[in-house]
Structure 1
């Protein structure tokens, strides 16, 4: 191995030399608040509702909650809290509990929600016998028991769907004045705690919050990414809880509940009967315990009971270091409903630029302009499509962002122009750590204007990252976000154009010499000034905002990219840190994986989980970031990546070069084939993301989303659906000649067609699919129509006006439907009705192409080259195209071996509606 340089050596050492060193990261026992709260198993809740204070107005119930001394017979009020229950649209409720008069304001997560949630109506049904009952406009009821406090959420049938504080684990630790000698001398001291060589001063003292949630009748719970275990969450009583704390975990381990780069505290519960969910709206370090009572004999550290597996219920407990209790309850009642409820709160991914859904080629690092040119030319020389080349940190002038290395990249504008000329884009990395070097304009400006995060003493915080000594921009300060956004203006970042997009990495934030390789929790962030607040009330600590830091980073990046071209062009941003709401700004990837089969396999449940948590634009480093993938693994990874939303090959600086043409010709051909499969479906991907922007549903879906009553699907996470049309079962095992495939829809007459042969398969659960190295099992659902473009070119931009092939897969009723979205692929003109969104419907009488929004139009030159109809039992004798006043007789070919009818060259324009009429 060649010399890596001091900082890389430091990073490798901190990370355990290419393997996770668990000693660098806390367990629950080492996290003071987790140890403290997890051990708390009260028999009765200390919280009580004051019934005399209940007020219902508009969509809100407010009341006073008291903590009482449960050890005495007398009711002695110790602390007062303000309870707020809000009814929101779509069967969503919000529960907030804060101190009535806190010593300092408690932090409320600011950026996760996409604006103010839309209100529903709320009416008081009754207030008697110690229970308050309210109902929303849909008829969902909430029963609030006064003593001990608990909240029951009923479905429309009056059945208990979600229960809060049923296990009496609600905790809001009140802020207290520091007493003499209160520092504490153990790991969970009230005013400070230690981890390894690091000391956390905890100036506000203990301020943790906790709440237990029960899901009666649930079979499984899902969500709370990002982790590397199964999509269906497992009982945690025998080990660590799931941890949500954004961390730079170098070559993270598999089958783990450890925290990694993302932290999205949303959980869904599902059974054949109903689907519900909760969103724990908190950006502090969070641990989540899960007990599935149907998993067998479990000893619950949550409720201190033993079950024999007879109780059908899943319990969860959320524990956060700070903040308030702020939880949204989703009453569903199907998977699609709860997924929509969450994205209605946190937003959807906007329609991305079309190129971003194509193939990305990256490496740490392409060496210089000649290297970039050579890579681009080699894609063309080997007839392999690619849309984007990427530059990692070495393109900069000695790790100073918004600069170029003048020797390696002396003419960046020319380099970008050469890529643009062949329809390609460039992505360059911009990290949030700023090199502390005299004369570096960004460091000088940040120092002079107070733009950096401060340490616990109010001085500029200094840590270590790739540039060496670094400080970190405080994006919570609006001045800082504005200044940072302005760095993306073309005049402030010479060498960039509209065809240069950005990658925000290391934004957990990563600090090589910090506790757990991140920023100390007692660092200080900007807080808007308020009258009468000074001292501890004048800033937020990093402990309050940690999981949001990356979100504020990418928000400012997006604003800068919008402003640089006066809001005309859609930006593409990739982020590593993720929180609720990230989807509004950026795509994500699964971080620093390795060229091992296990990392290929885990990319599937990781991205399914992300998609269910709102972030559909997800992928992994194809081939693995670390190590070198041999031919079989590389082939299988490209085949899998071709069917995941974000499709990028990326590799570590020390790995052997692995562009597709560097393998043996036979392997290169297989990689080319995988890439061509992706490009043939580029308009299908684009349509899926447009539809996500409308309805908020995941692009990459768990099987049970479409088949919610089919219990066999509830734990399948090595298969997934794209939209409702395609089922993907990647080959993630070495040396196999067959794989087990599950086709859902048993008992409903569902059909699935192999996309390679058009061979139909009845939905009968598992069957064995033969595979060879060229085969990845992909099936099109009967009753669907998928648009394809078969003329794959060097980049997707050059395919914009190419003709379409429509693949029609008939269901048992000989019907099918599909959709297609077309616009210019890069601007916001679609918001001004310059687009086409069409439905394609097949019935035995013919095919109809119609516009959903008749007021919208786009002057596409694309047309229909071919229509493939699979599963046709009684083919028509003649067909004619009707478009406008023109009628044209069409030619058809029937392939009897697999019941496929091909309508040849209809020539219909996609710019206006048309029909094909069959006669028999």
Structure 2
């Protein structure tokens, strides 16, 4: 009977066209969302007890009180490194501990000095670094300044709410006499003051009941971004990059990791990942806010207003009080209020500050930023062999082939189907002999099969999540009846990590990597297709407290397993569908189960930009769409877009037609090959960007305003973006398109089409003609990019191949610079200084290079094959290279006056040696 139920569920899921909204809650169906959202702006009942104030070198501590309930709370305001501020509010004497999501952070944030500037009965002013904050006592409010500019206010509209834990009052027996005078009547509260407590102690959704033994426990607060019309971030949502108004028009943006089949675009519904991080940007400031809470969270956004609530009641802002302001309201089902204010002042400062808090993406192995080929599922070893061979036969490079759930023995992870994959190690070795890798899927649901060693060990050791009654939680997923590992338990994480050892994962090798899917977690027969909120974790935490962290705890464990199996020598690659704050520290993510249509292609750009600015920088979308069958035009345009996004993988559903590139007509195959080859030629640039991302948090994929912060035209744009600081990309995302309208940002900037070297000026829009072979990509004047133009079967085979430098001169025609990073591509030796980090500079008609970092421990055989200089107005008489190896020699070159293009051939100098190339006129 249970198996019939599962088959029914799976059939329903596979037949759904578009998301079934009835499977997922609206705000009206969530008690805590209703209670918080129905609050009206006004005077907050929370006030600061000034006589309880404690000032230390790095923080302010005191108590808050709720004037209506008398409940006390602790308040900590701490100064952090790099000019950040942290505010924590918790119950002073809770009847049980409240969950804090600190494991998502990159270690405990370092505190720094804080100065108390002034204090009186109404509040105080503090300084931290170059910034300051004003704390108002009654009602409690916090105003944060970036330098002298007021940028964020907390609880200005009085929407703070902190529902304390309590025990449920039992109803009095009917025959018990009422105390007091017989004629006493309880005074009725006005209707406006009666709070909707429906669902506070037990909540029902469809056939599911959610017990709440400690009653209502939500926390919420309003934050106003003063001086800002645009806010971004809070992934994951299939919506515009510049976040839309929700209050009065739609549900709030929801952060609750869910398995959403064929998600819809342009709405605030929850998807697979949750990062409660928001960035506000204007032409003069950029700031960020991190709401560190792992419970279900909703965020309301009210439109920017010119008459600011904040500026109308305070006079701190210099100049006019007519400031734009965006008001937001954040509320979570449980946990504490733990907020980080990132005062910028610029976009790159905010990226660095967020990186300090949540960490950065460790430099990925080189192969992982190349092209990945995936399908649910490659059928058997022969299928894998044929797919691998056909890439070679059709001269298409690729680096990784993936196996989905059908490769296992009955959906039991860490196993192989012995009939379909009888010799997995041999299969992997045949692929890796060409420099390629393999990935297998490993999900968190464990098949309940007494003969399955993972299940029997997990059961005997008590490693599964429990239901509310204390028994092992039983949910349904791909294997049928399944247990779910309790990754909250550090012992479980260590045990899970050990399973990736080659002695445990039979048939695996060090060249086999991992895909953690379904880790929201997905539970087919659970409420909203996920785990019951009253399930119990290690430490007596309810699942509601930490739901959005379940996926990161799994990937944390998998990552540790990858490191351990090579004794910490080799870098890991893993992909996760669920993510949270800090997931970038463990691997890549993708946007989930998208659909093969133009709307889903278009939405990839704003979705990936939202992830990128929130720290989730190694991100991509299933090329071609997971569901349905793309026609040739859509597939080609998706490959062209994916080739210029951080994670580049084609993937498709079990029931779709096979869509390997050679299964299409010759023209389509050639167009796909050309898009993939463009990716491979730019791998040196991508790799350099990922190294710099690890160092400073700057995402490889960036909104235009990150590079041009004062250009207001870019603030609403999400159909074009930057790769690093040098390339502007505008994918073709409309059917039958014959042109695209491209905006070129930046005053006194010049841009060059990478295909025909046509020149465009900044602060102008141009109509760019497109054919099916055209990918609109433009190099910024004043930059130098290193490429590799020789095509190999896989990226590792190009390790010693020569480079081509593309030198795009600035508007004056006199200057350009750029960087190149090189290491071995797969180990952690780069952390010991074994790498090359070169800077290239063109000025005074001379191209030179110099070492930026690194050591003599690492050398390369790679040499400089070609230099292309764009934007040079006059043909030189002579081009001369000078090197310590051979002195001076003249070089062959060609000059095209129509495009102001100079091509210098075979300088033949080592890419890391000291050399210069001089143009003589």
Aligned partner of residue 485 in structure 1, secondary structure: helix
Deviation string for 1:206-256 (max 9, x for gaps)? 110001000111011111010011000111121100000000001101111
CA drift at 1:561: 0.6
Q: Equivalents in 1 of 2:536, 2:306: separation in Å?
A: 44
CA drift at 1:124: 0.7
Contact 1:242 1:259 in 2 (8 A): yes
Match of 1:223 in 2: 233
Q: Counterparts of 1:231-380 in structure 2 under 5 Å?
A: 231-237=241-247, 238-294=249-305, 312-380=324-392
Q: Counterparts of 1:496-645 in structure 2 under 5 Å?
A: 496-527=508-539, 539-645=540-646
1:179 matched to 2:169? The reply is yes
Q: Equivalents in 1 of 2:198, 2:831: separation in Å?
A: 53
Using a 3 Å threshold, how does the CA distance of structure 1 residues 6 and 910 change in structure 2: closer, same or farther? farther
Aligned partner of residue 104 in structure 2, secondary structure: coil
Q: Equivalents in 2 of 1:10, 1:296: separation in Å?
A: 52
Deviation string for 1:798-827 (max 9, x for gaps)? 111110000000002321001001011001
Using a 3 Å threshold, how does the CA distance of structure 1 residues 181 and 799 change in structure 2: closer, same or farther? farther
Contact 1:858 1:911 in 2 (8 A): no
Aligned partner of residue 48 in structure 2, secondary structure: strand
Match of 1:415 in 2: 427
Using a 3 Å threshold, how does the CA distance of structure 1 residues 802 and 181 change in structure 2: closer, same or farther? farther
Aligned partner of residue 178 in structure 1, secondary structure: coil
Match of 1:36 in 2: 35
CA drift at 1:40: 1.4
Using a 3 Å threshold, how does the CA distance of structure 1 residues 9 and 360 change in structure 2: closer, same or farther? farther
Deviation string for 1:448-469 (max 9, x for gaps)? 0000000001110000000000
Q: Counterparts of 1:795-874 in structure 2 under 5 Å?
A: 795-813=794-812, 814-853=814-853, 855-874=855-874
Deviation string for 1:501-553 (max 9, x for gaps)? 000000000000000000000000112xxxxxxxxxxx000000000000000
Match of 2:772 in 1: 773
CA drift at 1:11: 3.0
Match of 1:131 in 2: 123
1:750 matched to 2:749? The reply is yes
Aligned partner of residue 866 in structure 1, secondary structure: strand
CA drift at 1:17: 1.5
Q: Equivalents in 2 of 1:197, 1:14: separation in Å?
A: 18
CA drift at 1:260: 0.4
For residue 424 of structure 1, the aligned residue among 436, 445, 457 is 436
**Mean Cα deviation higher: 404-413 or 110-119:** 110-119
CA drift at 1:181: 4.3
1:461 matched to 2:473? The reply is yes
CA drift at 1:883: 2.6
Contact 2:752 2:780 in 1 (8 A): yes
Q: Equivalents in 2 of 1:617, 1:396: separation in Å?
A: 27
Q: Equivalents in 2 of 1:16, 1:711: separation in Å?
A: 44
Match of 1:406 in 2: 418
Deviation string for 1:254-301 (max 9, x for gaps)? 111000001100011111121112100000000000012349999xxx
Contact 2:262 2:593 in 1 (8 A): yes
Q: Equivalents in 2 of 1:345, 1:559: separation in Å?
A: 20
State the superposition RMSD in angstroms.
Answer: 1.9
1:142 matched to 2:133? The reply is yes
CA drift at 1:849: 1.3
1:99 matched to 2:111? The reply is no
1:83 matched to 2:94? The reply is no
**Mean Cα deviation higher: 331-340 or 365-374:** 331-340
Contact 1:8 1:466 in 2 (8 A): no
CA drift at 1:79: 1.1
Aligned partner of residue 752 in structure 1, secondary structure: strand
**Mean Cα deviation higher: 870-879 or 330-339:** 870-879
Contact 2:308 2:324 in 1 (8 A): no
TM score, norm. by length of structure 1: 0.94
Contact 1:397 1:404 in 2 (8 A): yes
TM score, norm. by length of structure 2: 0.94
Q: Equivalents in 2 of 1:293, 1:356: separation in Å?
A: 41
Contact 1:15 1:249 in 2 (8 A): no
Which sections of structure 2, spanning at least 5 residues, go unmatched?
173-193, 310-320
**Mean Cα deviation higher: 509-518 or 832-841:** 832-841
CA drift at 1:43: 2.0
For residue 120 of structure 1, the aligned residue among 89, 99, 112 is 112
**Mean Cα deviation higher: 513-522 or 850-859:** 850-859
Matched positions, count: 884
Contact 2:73 2:92 in 1 (8 A): yes
Deviation string for 1:18-64 (max 9, x for gaps)? 32111110000111100111111152101111111222212111111
Aligned partner of residue 398 in structure 2, secondary structure: coil
Q: Equivalents in 2 of 1:854, 1:445: separation in Å?
A: 46
